[in-house]
Amino acid sequence: MGKSDSVYSESTAYLFAKTFFTPSLRPAVLKCVRSIFSNFFGRQYLSAFFSGRLPVSKVDHQLDKKIPFTPSWVAIYIDFIQFWIRMLTFFLKRYGRKAYVPARDFILSVGKLYEYAGEVYSKNLSTTRRPFYIARPRFFLIHLADPHLYCVPSLHVMIAIHTYTMFSVIAKQLGEKDKLQEQIDEMKHGALAISHAILYIKQHSVNCIPTALYAMTCFDPVNFPKEEAEEFIKLLFSPAPEGDESLRKIKVHPAASPLIKISDADKADIRGHIVSLYRKFLSERDESRPWYEPLLKFLRSYR
């Protein structure tokens, strides 16, 4: 895949200009931004300032100790917003008006994801032990902007998964799925990189990944069924393929993944824990009850 064909070569600034001057897209963006600030930042800061109003669960797991703190991955962690913005830029620049409707629907769906995760956050807060590390400016911004009370389910993982699955859906809607298969694969590896990053910079626990996968299967069972979720888990901790831009573009060398010292046995244990917990949530789900009840049961066990 040539560099110019990579989704990672797209500018994020283009989308802001495009949506501002496109009447059919602007309302969707404004609604999405309101949802993000209301359901994530606003409510989380209120929970931090008025502590004690909601139960808090510390969801660390002993397997977290097997994953070394790797500050260089912070660039990938904070890239998750640009991740889906670049995806929209890719389609809008190449397909113009044909991409307006799927782009609008995707933007609205991102706002709905924040509302969806907020159904858990509004009932039980969750946190993990994260090192107070501010040697890099990006970590200082993370500590400043994120009170770290919304860990389960991980919105980073949810949005990354939603972006790569919907890239494939939009490509199919435009009749371009076969032509864009390399980009579809690239987006999936980008979602895996973001999922690795939340663990490598100790912003989340291994417990946070299966909760996000379960939430996504509930949110979009057609495009992220159990089979796709388990395939995603199998790919965790596998190195990015040669030529993949997901690490190179954001200043992490593509060889960084295998250089992180996690033994094959520990990787297998982590993947085994993630898939086991994901299946447990699915088995506990009652279609007649709210989707998030298995997650609340899990959070109660960690209070």
Q: Do residues 193 and 232 touch, judged by C-beta distance below 8 A?
A: no
Segments of 90-238 assigned E as strands: 125-127
Q: Are strands 56-58 and 125-127 parallel, antiparallel or unpaired?
A: parallel
Q: Round to whole Å and give the CA distance between 228 and 301.
A: 28
Q: pLDDT 10s per residue in the chain (303 long)?
A: 444 588 998 988 999 899 889 999 999 999 999 999 999 888 888 888 888 889 999 999 999 999 999 998 998 999 999 999 999 999 999 999 999 999 999 999 999 999 999 999 999 999 999 988 887 888 888 888 889 999 999 999 999 999 999 999 999 999 999 999 999 999 999 999 999 999 999 999 999 999 999 999 999 999 999 999 999 999 999 876 666 666 665 555 555 554 578 999 999 999 999 999 999 999 999 999 999 999 999 999 998
Count of residues in the chain: 303
Contact in structure between 186 and 246 (CB atoms under 8 Å): yes
Q: How far apart are CA 101 and CA 104, in angstroms?
A: 5
Query: What number of CA atoms fall less than 13 Å from residue 296's CA on the CB side?
Result: 16
**Helices 208-219 and 293-300, axial angle in degrees (round to 10):** 160
Determine the residue type at 106.
Answer: F
